[in-house]
Amino acid sequence: MKILDLFGVDGYGVVVTGGASGIGLGYAEALASNGARVTLLDVDAERIDKETKRLSGEGFDIRGEVVDVTDHAALDAAIDDAARTYGKLDVVFANAGIDPGVGFVGDWVGEQRPRIAKGAIENYTDERWNRVIDINLNGIFATVRAAVRHMKPRKSGHIIVTSSLASTRVEPAIGAAYMAAKAGVVQFMRTVALEVAAYNITVNAIAPGYIVTNIGGGHAHDPEEQRAVARVIPSHRIGYPEDLYGLALFFASRASDYITGQEVIIDGGYGLGVAD
Ligand SMILES: NC(=O)c1ccc[n+]([C@@H]2O[C@H](COP(=O)([O-])OP(=O)(O)OC[C@H]3O[C@@H](n4cnc5c(N)ncnc54)[C@H](O)[C@@H]3O)[C@@H](O)[C@H]2O)c1
C-alpha cells in the first residue's frame, strides 16, 4: 500500500464553505495542491476573487462562488453547480463561521482573567444570538444536507465540519452563542454520521484550537495577543491553517474510510490544561 493509495485526492470534486479565508482556505490549498478540484463558497466577494485568481495562478483547479450560507436556496444551487461541474462531489467541508465578539461571559484573553461585567447575558440581544446560530449551526446543517443529497445516490463521500475547542470548553474570549452553536455542530455531525454510514459516507469534525485567521476582525494577527496565547498553550506556539492540512487530507481521503462520527481536536494541547 503506497501513501497516495491511502491519502490521494487527485481528481476529487470538493466544496469548501468559508473557503476564501483562514482555515477553509487552508483546506482548499491542502486538497488543491494534491490534485483535487475545489470550489470555494464564501460571502466575501473580494476575497473569493483574490484567492481564486491566486490559486488558479499557481496552477490549481479552483473556482469560487459568492454565497451566504444563511441563504439555503443559494447554497443548494452553488453546491449543485459544483457537483455538475465535477460530475460528482467527493468531499464537502462545512466550515463557514463567525465569532460574534465577546460576551456574555467575559471580554479579554491572555494573561488577564476574563472580566465578567461587560456583555452580560441580560444584555445579549436576540439578533446577536440568532446571527451566530444562523451561520455557525444552521449554515452547517444546510451545507451537510446539500452534500448528502449528492453523495447518497453515489454511495460515496466525505463530509468534514469545522467545530472548535469551544464545542466542549467555554472560552470567555468568544461570543457565548458560539459555544452553543459549536456544541450543536458536533452532535449534529454525529447524528448525520449515524444516518449515512450505510451509504459509505463519512461525517467527521475538525476542532481547531487557536489558529491565526481573520475571524473576529483578525485579532489573532496581533503579536501581543499571539505571545500571550502561546504562553498558555502547552506546545508553546500558536496554530496556523497549515497545521490542519494533514487532518484535512486524512478526513478527505480513503485513509479515513472506516472512521465516522468523530471529532478530532487540533490545538497544540490547549484543551488539556497548562503543563508548565
Ligand atoms: N481561528 C480559530 O482559532 C478557530 C478555532 C476553532 C474553530 N474555528 C472555526 O473555523 C471556521 C473558519 O473560521 P476561520 O478562523 O478560518 O475564520 P476566517 O474569518 O478567516 O474565515 C471564515 C470565512 O467564512 C466566511 N463566512 C462568514 N460568514 C459567512 C456566511 N454567512 N456565508 C458564507 N461564508 C461566510 C468569511 O467571509 C471568511 O472568509 C469557523 O467555523 C470557525 O468557527 C476557528
* DSSP bridge pairs for 14: 38, 91
* CA 1 to centroid of ligand 1, rounded, Å: 36
Grid coordinates representing 233 are 498553550
Judge if the beta carbon of residue 22 lies within 6 A of ligand 1: yes
- The per-residue pLDDT for 170 is 86
Superfamily per CATH, domain 10-263:
NAD(P)-binding Rossmann-like Domain (3.40.50.720)
Q: Which of 98, 225, 244, 266 to mutate to test the pocket of ligand 1 (most atoms within 8 A of CB)?
A: 98
pTM of this prediction? 0.96
| Residue numbers annotated as active site | 178
Return the pLDDT at 175. Answer: 81
23 lines ligand 1 (CB under 6 A): yes
Q: Residue with the nearest Cα to atom 24 of ligand 1?
A: 18
- pLDDT at residue 119 in the model: 57
- Separation between Cα atoms, residue 19 and residue 78, nearest integer Å: 13
CA of 31 to the centre of ligand 1 (A): 18
DSSP string, the chain: --HHHHH--TT-EEEEETTTSHHHHHHHHHHHTTT-EEEEEES-HHHHHHHHHHHHHTT-EEEEEE--TT-HHHHHHHHHHHHHHHTS--EEEE-------S-SS-S--SSSPPPSSTT-GGG--HHHHHHHIIIIIIHHHHHHHHHHHHHHHHT-EEEEEE--GGGTS--TTS-HHHHHHHHHHHHHHHHHHHHHGGGTEEEEEEEE-SB-SSGGGGGGG-HHHHHHHHHHSTTSS-B-GGGGHHHHHHHHSGGGTT--S-EEEESTTGGG----
Angle of the 22-32 helix axis to the 45-57 helix axis, nearest 10: 20
CB distance 265 to ligand 1 below 6 Å: no
Per-residue pLDDT of the chain (276 residues; tens, 9 = 90+): 899 999 999 999 999 999 999 999 999 999 999 999 999 999 999 999 999 999 999 999 999 999 999 999 999 999 999 999 999 999 999 999 999 777 665 444 444 444 444 557 777 788 889 999 999 999 999 999 999 999 999 999 999 999 999 999 988 778 889 999 999 999 999 999 999 999 999 999 999 999 999 998 898 999 999 999 999 999 999 999 999 999 999 999 999 999 999 999 999 999 998 878
What does the pLDDT read at residue 210? 96
Q: Which residue carries 466577494 as its cell?
A: 45
Distance between CA 40 and CA 52 in Å, rounded? 8
Cis peptide before 104 (omega within 30 of 0): yes
Ligand 1 contact via 225 beta carbon (within 6 Å): no
69 lines ligand 1 (CB under 6 A): yes
